């Protein structure tokens, strides 16, 4: 498709959209965002941020927003449920499914609802979360999302509120050649805390385009897990835009398993003195999968800390990409940042591109980065085999250990580690049964 032809279906979809009771300010922003997307078009490989990404699966066919709401049952979401009692939001094809969700008995000072409901009942809350010009990181898909988003989830905590249960959000994609445009918002007031697990899964060749806007106030703490487990025929583009206040804590883990084409982005700004973030993740790829982790960390205040550690495993003809930038502004003295990317290639036809970058404009900082690409350790393989463990099992054990090493970074949450470990094991088992 030509550049114009490939964006046309989205322009048409926007034209067909009604304001449907949304406030005027939002409608204007949607219009502005659509215009912005039309100007920018799809990214090309000439842009540095997209140099390693083959977007053709997204360009060959159009994915207008899903309309019909597919039916889903508790069985359909069982695989991604987090154990124990949770607050839960379930969405299918970009629309909230109340019957599968559980958002009753929230404590005072906590708001958890679908984005659509929030727009009806408390639209001002979304004001800071929808920006028509928000295309930082060469991301026209954020603009497209702002124009077309249908639903998502919103979590807002008043100062000092600490949730006693984990919040789980499960999105299922079902409609072939349709997109789910999700706008998610997490706003933590000062000294509040929460744990959120987002899981993305589904069946078929759909496109999920999810934008999460996250603000963590002074002294607040958010632990944020994302499980990207889309169908291997599907496309997943997801981005988190995070802003941290003074002494705020943000820790994320991205486990990326699915998708024909998947891209998980984090754009994070350390905006208050003493803020700290830990960005961790593992991407497991096989077949023809293409998976990208892109992080842009902006140290805009002094005395902030970044710990970044991402791993990838690529088998068959898969392609993994890590793009990591840490920028330190002149005023961000006493920055302590490190970034590490470790990658495992399991096949001669698999490939990994890793690009860690530091841009340091302050002089009193401690920053480091590193990247490795290798294959399974032959001596470790032989050690396992010499004890009677089959080659296939030995490989499975070593890959699992490789992923486990970064999951261990979630030090004080054994349930979360076990949850992620189970999904890694499931991915490995799916490979054995091929």
Partner 1 sequence: MLEINNLHARINDGREILKGVDLAVKAGEVHAIMGPNGSGKSTLAGVLSGKPGYEVTEGQVLYCGRDLLAMAADERARDGVFLAFQYPVEIPGVNNMYFLRAALNAARKQRGESAMDAGQFLKAVRAKLKLLEIGEDLLQRGVNVGFSGGEKKRNEIFQMAMLEPRLAILDETDSGLDIDALQTVARGINALRGPERAIVMITHYQRLLDHVVPDRVHVLSGGRIVKSGGKELALELEQTGYGAYGDAA
Instruction: Identify which of residues 4 and 401 has a Cβ nearer to partner 1 in the complex.
Output: 401
Tokens of 299: 């140290």
* Contact of 198 with 171, CB cutoff 8 Å: yes
CB of 394 to partner 1, least distance (A): 8
Whether the CB-CB separation of 189 and 161 falls below 8 Å is answered with yes
HSE-CB for 128 with a 13 A CA cutoff? 12
CB of 200 to partner 1, least distance (A): 26
Instruction: Give the nearest distance from C-beta 420 to partner 1 in angstroms.
Output: 14
Closest distance between partner 1 and the C-beta of residue 374, in Å? 14
Helix, strand, coil content of the chain in percent (nearest 5): 25, 40, 35
Q: Decide: 146 and 134 in contact? Cβ < 8 Å.
A: yes
Among residues 314 and 424, whose Cβ is nearest to partner 1?
A: 424
Site for partner 1 in 330-359 (CB under 8 A): none
Separation CA 324–CA 170 (nearest Å): 27
Q: How far apart are CA 406 and CA 429, in angstroms?
A: 20
- In the complex, minimum distance from the CB of residue 212 to partner 1, in angstroms, rounded to a whole number: 30
Site string for partner 1, 92-131 (x = CB under 8 A): ----------------------------------------
For partner 1, the closer of residues 21 and 388 by Cβ is 388
For partner 1, the closer CB: 69 or 404: 404
Strand-pairing partners, residue 283, are 256, 312
**Which residues, numbered 370-429, are part of the site for partner 1 (CB under 8 A)?**
377-380, 382-391, 393-394, 397-398, 400-402, 404-405, 408
| 243 vs 267: CA distance, rounded Å | 9
Q: Which is nearer to partner 1, 16 or 391 (CB)?
A: 391
Q: What is the DSSP string of 93-116?
A: TTEE-GGG-B--SPPTTEEEEEHH
Of 190 and 421, nearer to partner 1 (C-beta) is: 421
Chain positions 189 to 228 lying near partner 1, rule: CB under 8 A, are none
Closer residue to partner 1 in complex, CB, 367/398: 398
Nearer to partner 1, 31 or 400 (CB): 400
C-beta of 421: minimal distance to partner 1 in Å?
11
Least Å distance, CB 312 to partner 1, is: 16
Cβ of residue 298: shortest distance to partner 1, in angstroms? Answer: 32
Spatial separation of the C-alpha atoms in residues 156 and 196, rounded to whole Å = 12
Size of residue set near partner 1 by CB under 8 A: 24
Q: How far, in Å, CA of 236 to CA of 200, rounded?
A: 9
224: left (phi over 0), alpha (psi -120 to 50) or beta: beta
**How is residue 70 written in tokens?**
């597919």
408: exposed, middle or buried (Cβ count in 10 Å: 0-12, 13-18, 19+): exposed
What residues line the site for partner 1 (CB under 8 A)? 377-380, 382-391, 393-394, 397-398, 400-402, 404-405, 408
């Amino acid at each position: 498709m030509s550049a114009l032809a490939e964006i046309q279906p989205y322009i048409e979809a926007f034209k067909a959209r009604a304001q449907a009771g949304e406030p005027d300010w939002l409608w204007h922003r949607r219009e502005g965002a659509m215009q912005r997307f039309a100007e920018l078009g799809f990214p090309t490989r000439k842009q540095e941020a997209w140099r390693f990404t083959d977007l053709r699966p997204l360009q060959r066919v159009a994915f207008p927003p899903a309309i019909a709401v597919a039916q889903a049952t508790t069985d359909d979401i069982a695989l991604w449920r987090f154990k124990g009692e949770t607050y839960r939001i379930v969405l299918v094809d970009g629309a909230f499914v109340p019957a599968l969700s559980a958002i009753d008995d929230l404590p005072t000072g906590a708001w958890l609802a679908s984005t659509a409901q929030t727009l009806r009942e408390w639209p001002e809350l979304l004001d800071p979360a929808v920006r028509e010009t928000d295309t930082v990181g060469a991301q026209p898909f954020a603009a497209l999302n702002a124009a077309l988003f249908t639903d998502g989830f919103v979590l807002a905590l008043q100062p000092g509120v600490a949730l006693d249960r984990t919040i789980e959000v499960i999105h299922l994609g079902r409609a072939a050649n349709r997109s789910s445009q999700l706008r998610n918002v997490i706003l933590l007031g000062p000294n509040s805390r929460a744990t959120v697990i987002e899981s993305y899964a589904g069946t078929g060749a759909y496109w999920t385009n999810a934008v999460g806007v996250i603000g963590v106030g002074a002294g607040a703490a958010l632990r944020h897990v994302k499980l990207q487990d889309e169908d291997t025929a599907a496309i997943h583009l997801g981005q988190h835009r995070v802003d941290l206040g003074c002494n705020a804590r943000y820790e994320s883990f991205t486990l990326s398993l699915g998708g024909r084409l998947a891209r998980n982005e984090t754009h994070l700004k350390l905006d208050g003195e003493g803020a700290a973030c830990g960005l961790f993740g593992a991407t497991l790829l096989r077949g023809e999968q293409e998976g990208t982790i892109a992080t842009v960390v902006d140290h805009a205040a002094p005395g902030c800390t970044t710990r970044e550690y991402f791993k990838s495993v690529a088998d068959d003809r898969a392609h993994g990409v890590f793009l990591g930038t840490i920028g330190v502004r002149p005023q961000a003295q006493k920055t302590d940042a490190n970034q590490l990317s470790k990658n495992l290639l399991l096949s001669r036809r698999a490939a990994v591109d890793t690009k860690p970058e530091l841009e340091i404009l302050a002089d009193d900082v401690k920053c480091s980065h590193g990247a490795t690409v290798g294959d399974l350790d032959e001596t470790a393989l032989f050690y396992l085999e010499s004890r009677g463990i089959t080659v296939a099992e030995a490989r499975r054990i070593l890959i699992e250990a490789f992923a486990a090493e970064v999951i261990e970074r979630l030090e004080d949450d054994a349930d979360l580690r076990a949850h992620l470990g189970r999904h890694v094991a499931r991915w490995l088992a799916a490979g054995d049964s091929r």
